Amino acid sequence: MAQIKAVTRLSKNVYRLTVAAPEIAAKHQPGQFIILRLDKNGERIPLTIADKDTAAGTIDLIVQAVGKTTHQLVSLKAGEDILDLAGPLGLPTRIEKLGTVVMLGGGVGTAPLYPIAKGFQQAGNKIITILGARNKDLLVLPEEFAALSDELLLMTDDGSLGEKGLVTHALQKLIDQKIEIKKVVAIGPLIMMKFVAELTRKYKIPTVVSLNSLMIDGTGMCGGCRVRVGAETKFTCVHGPEFDGHLVDFDALLKRANTYKTAEKDSLNKYLEASP
């Protein structure tokens, strides 16, 4: 059992849950994730740890309510329990002092990006952060990123906050300014990461992407998170979740990403219809 200590709404359908997990908080490193199950009949879902407080023995999970389980999760209150919480899982981010590192987050992908950005900042790098979302209400953690970034660029599809446009537009401007970017770390929707990788490939800028959204059981046994990386087949949960963005076969991933959408939608609708 893991008790929820606090629930905070960050934006529309996006919540921060502070959960008691002292052993995970003590061992967690940037880039790693947990697997949780709400009850004995619940599904296992992966969530990346957005922050931790080792003194308090807590971890922060940022959750967007999009499916049945995430809707159930954000409906819980402080004092209630999560049945199973396993982690930290996955390989941690390789953090080193490089120079200028661009952190690029899309939507809720901003959450797992935060501890990675903090790690690179503490290692002595210059941090330029680009955050993007469909509108201002869907931007996550802009104040937190502003506090640790040397420069913060906000992009919204509708122009409701920051500049109107895509995160790749902001990245292209940085490249055009002849800024010597040593690495790009991109986390967000698959289509966003694909186009970021295509852009940086042209300029030979090393790029890391996180594929945590593909994971199911988190142990490599189910094979549901397999991904083609260069000439090899990898499992996101045990070999990742981070990979060289220039080697990932995003086209295959985008096709597979729609496999369970109908079933997921039906499950959510049944849950919502049965809810009081």
What are the pLDDT digits (tens) for 116-152? 999 999 999 999 999 999 988 888 899 999 999 999 9
Predicted pLDDT at 220? 72
C-alpha distance across the termini of the chain, in Å: 26
Is residue 99 pLDDT above 90, yes or no?
Answer: yes
Distance from C-alpha of 193 to C-alpha of 243, rounded to nearest angstrom: 11
The CATH architecture to which 100-256 belongs is 3-Layer(aba) Sandwich (3.40)
Binding residues for FAD: 62-64
**Which residues fall in the annotated binding site for [2Fe-2S] cluster?**
222, 225, 237
Q: Where are the domains of the chain?
A: 2-89, 100-256
Token pair listed for 60: 């922060």
- Residue 51's φ and ψ, nearest 5 degrees, are -165, 170
Burial 88-125 (b: 16+ CB within 10 A, else e): bbbebbebeeeebbbbbbbbbbbbbbbbbbbbbbeeeb
The predicted structure's pLDDT at residue 260:
65
CATH class entry, domain 2-89: mainly beta
Question: Per the annotation, where are the binding residues?
Answer: 62-64, 222, 225, 237
* Cα atoms in the Cβ-side hemisphere of radius 13 Å centred on 229: 18
Question: How many alpha carbons fall within 13 Å on the CB side of residue 158?
Answer: 7
Q: What confidence tens digit (pLDDT) does each residue in 161-216 have?
A: 999 999 999 999 999 999 999 999 999 999 999 999 999 999 999 999 998 777 77
> What six digits make up the tokens of 186?
């991109």
Cis peptide before 92 (omega within 30 of 0): no
- pLDDT tens profile 218-234: 777 777 788 899 999 99
Amino acid of residue 122 = Q
Quick check: 271 pLDDT over 70? no
